[in-house]
Amino acid sequence: MTTSTRPAAIERSALAPGAMRGALAAVEPRAAADPGAIRVVRAPGRVNLIGEHTDYNLGLVLPAAIDLEIRIAFVPTDDRRVELVSGGTGERAGFDLDAIGPRRGAWIDYVAGTAWALADAGIATRGLRGIIVSSLPTASGLSSSAALELASAWALADEPGGGVAPIELARTCQRAENAYVGVNCGLMDQFASACGVAGDAVLLDCRSLEFRPIALPLATHTLVVIHTGSTRSLTTSQYNVRRAQCEAAAAALATSDPAIQSLRDVTPAMLPRIRDLVGDDAFRRSRHVVTENERVADTIEALATGDIAALGRLWAASHASLRDDFEVVSPELDALVEIASAVPGVAASRMTGAGFGGCTINLVERGAVSDLRTAVDARYRARTGLQPRVYAVDAVDGAGIVAG
Ligand code: GLA
């Protein structure tokens, strides 16, 4: 989700702690004078395997944190001033912790919003001078905003991780995005960046906030993210419209059944009433959410039993539901899924994230990744005129301190 730009993504090698310390020392005299004081924190992006637009309906999501991430190298200061340089562009920005002010429409908003939300949650913050480096493509549906918030939280908080459970830190960062940046997102992105588990996806129940790691078949398969190369447009406004339609559907049912607090409480049998009460759009949005929750549960079952064919069918059904009922699939996302699904060895493929552009997620037999790259290179550009980007990704741990 994006209302303002994030630091530009650069090569992964620039994220090595030694490279980051050197880059900070080059722009910040305090770091040059006392290299031993430099700390480095990291926060990963995420890919969602299934459970799309379910989080703000208090449903189920299955994201994984990925090895495309944002890092901040910094020296803590006691002057209550935060000054950061974007390693991608060299742009500088900053703010006073005791006079944060309103958002400006730039990447520093995510840092300032996090500082505001931490203070609001009673978590002690400190000043710093730092540099931000990212290997996460921005505005691509891989949660660069959540990663920037979590990395900021780890840098700004006096105690490691704010001295709270990672899911609490995720909620604080979600609040930064909702109330300061102004995007009404659910918890999934911040949750994944905070609570990721290396080698696994993580199932989150957005109603109870219970979560647990889910093993992936990574001995035989690889997660491959493919970027459409299309800039997302209307994402924030259309996202908010979808969210409002879902909430209106739940509210309409609640007038006769107060037990219904969100679409999580709605069964398939109740759906036709939504059409009568609120109309066809709200009915189809709700049908997506209700069936998507079932598909997440079925995906967990398929992963547990090693039924990769079932997983492929579930992801295909999720994609179709997001296209036909939720209407967030762009023609470019559809083209990528169609091209990937025709490649032998691609077990499952669907759009991931909010939609309206961004990326697809693919579960691919290890031996078939290069065939997938070849097929995408050969067919996608000819079909759309856009340059795709293919990333084989690993599932990694959530945000924290980088050793070394
Ligand atoms: C964006 C939001 C998430 C979630 C997804 C759709 O990534 O930030 O909270 O709603 O879209 O699943």
Alpha carbon of 35 to ligand 1 centroid (Å): 39
Task: Name the residue with tokens 């803590």.
Answer: 76
Instruction: Give the mutation target among 66, 149, 171, 239 for probing the ligand 1 site: most ligand atoms within 8 A of CB.
Output: 239
**Alpha-carbon gap, residue 109 to 182, rounded angstroms:** 10
pLDDT digits (tens, 9 = 90+) for 26-65: 999 999 999 999 999 999 999 999 999 999 999 999 999 9
pLDDT digits (tens, 9 = 90+) for 165-209: 999 999 999 999 999 999 899 999 999 999 999 999 999 999 999
| Per-residue model confidence (pLDDT) at position 9 | 67
- Return the residue whose CA atom lies nearest to atom 10 of ligand 1: 53
Could you tell me where the beta strands, DSSP code E, fall in 53-192?
60-61, 63-77, 81-86, 92-96, 127-134
Please state, rounded to an integer, the average pLDDT across all residues of the chain: 95
Comparing CA positions, the residue from 60, 54, 47, 52 lying closest to residue 298 is 60
Q: Is 188 in the pocket of ligand 1 (CB under 6 A)?
A: yes
Edge-to-edge strands, sheet with 211-215: 60-61, 200-205, 211-215
Q: Is 63 in the pocket of ligand 1 (CB under 6 A)?
A: no
Residue 104's CB is within 10 A of a number of other CB atoms, namely: 12
| Per-residue model confidence (pLDDT) at position 13 | 82
Q: Do 61 and 193 meet the contact criterion of CB atoms below 8 Å apart? A: no
Question: How large a percentage of the chain has pLDDT more than 90?
Answer: 91
The single-letter DSSP state of residue 177 is I
- Residue 158 backbone phi and psi in degrees, to 5: -60, -45
Q: Is 181 in the pocket of ligand 1 (CB under 6 A)?
A: no
Instruction: Give the mutation target among 49, 55, 315 for probing the ligand 1 site: most ligand atoms within 8 A of CB.
Output: 55
**Alpha-carbon gap, residue 308 to 313, rounded angstroms:** 9
Centroid of chain to Cα 84:
23
Which tokens hold the place of 31? 């770091």
From residue 195, alpha-carbon distances to 174, 199, 295, 384, 395 in Å are 14, 13, 22, 36, 11
pTM of the model: 0.96
Question: How large a percentage of the chain has pLDDT more than 70?
Answer: 96
Q: Work out the burial of residue 201: count CB atoms within 10 Å of its CB; fewer than 13 is exposed, 13-18 middle, 19 or more buried.
A: buried
**Alpha-carbon gap, residue 180 to 191, rounded angstroms:** 18
Q: Is 189 a catalytic residue?
A: yes
**What is the rounded average pLDDT of the residues 72-94?**
96
For residue 227, give the amino acid letter: H
Which tokens hold the place of 281? 């759009």
**Alpha-carbon gap, residue 97 to 277, rounded angstroms:** 48
| Per-residue model confidence (pLDDT) at position 234 | 59
pLDDT digits (tens, 9 = 90+) for 263-276: 999 999 999 999 99
Q: Do 174 and 220 meet the contact criterion of CB atoms below 8 Å apart? A: no
Catalytic residue among 55, 67, 109, 189: 189
Task: Give the model's confidence band at 14: pLDDT under 50 very low, under 70 low, under 90 confident, else very high.
Answer: confident
Q: Do 216 and 64 meet the contact criterion of CB atoms below 8 Å apart? A: yes
Q: Is 284 in the pocket of ligand 1 (CB under 6 A)?
A: no
For residue 355, give the amino acid letter: G
Q: Do 352 and 48 meet the contact criterion of CB atoms below 8 Å apart? A: yes
Q: Is 68 in the pocket of ligand 1 (CB under 6 A)?
A: no
Alpha carbon of 52 to ligand 1 centroid (Å): 7
b/e 355-394 (16+ beta carbons within 10 angstroms → b): bbbbbbbbbbbeebbeebbebbeebbeeebebebebbbbe
pLDDT digits (tens, 9 = 90+) for 132-144: 999 998 888 899 9
Alpha carbon of 18 to ligand 1 centroid (Å): 34
Task: Name the residue with tokens 């647990």.
Answer: 212
Residues 6+ apart with CB under 8 A from 366: 220, 221, 222
Alpha carbon of 57 to ligand 1 centroid (Å): 11
Alpha carbon of 346 to ligand 1 centroid (Å): 25
What ranges in 48-143 are assigned the alpha helix state H? 108-120
pLDDT digits (tens, 9 = 90+) for 215-256: 999 999 999 999 999 866 657 789 999 999 999 999 999 999
Q: Is 189 in the pocket of ligand 1 (CB under 6 A)?
A: yes
Which tokens hold the place of 197? 């588990």
| Per-residue model confidence (pLDDT) at position 2 | 42
Alpha carbon of 239 to ligand 1 centroid (Å): 8
**Alpha-carbon gap, residue 9 to 248, rounded angstroms:** 38
Q: Do 45 and 66 meet the contact criterion of CB atoms below 8 Å apart? A: yes
- Domain residue ranges of the chain, discontinuous segments joined by +: 12-215+397-401
Comparing CA positions, the residue from 72, 98, 80, 83 lying closest to residue 155 is 72
Report whether pLDDT(3) > 60: no
The single-letter DSSP state of residue 225 is E
Task: Give the model's confidence band at 403: pLDDT under 50 very low, under 70 low, under 90 confident, else very high.
Answer: confident
Report whether pLDDT(6) > 70: no
**Alpha-carbon gap, residue 78 to 131, rounded angstroms:** 18
Q: Do 371 and 239 meet the contact criterion of CB atoms below 8 Å apart? A: no
Task: Give the model's confidence band at 4: pLDDT under 50 very low, under 70 low, under 90 confident, else very high.
Answer: very low
Task: Give the model's confidence band at 308: pLDDT under 50 very low, under 70 low, under 90 confident, else very high.
Answer: very high
pLDDT digits (tens, 9 = 90+) for 361-394: 999 999 999 999 999 999 999 999 999 999 999 9
Nearest ligand 1 atom to alpha carbon 243:
10
For residue 92, the cross-strand partners are: 85
Pick the CATH number of 12-215+397-401 from 3.90.45.10, 3.40.50.300, 3.30.1380.10, 3.30.230.10: 3.30.230.10
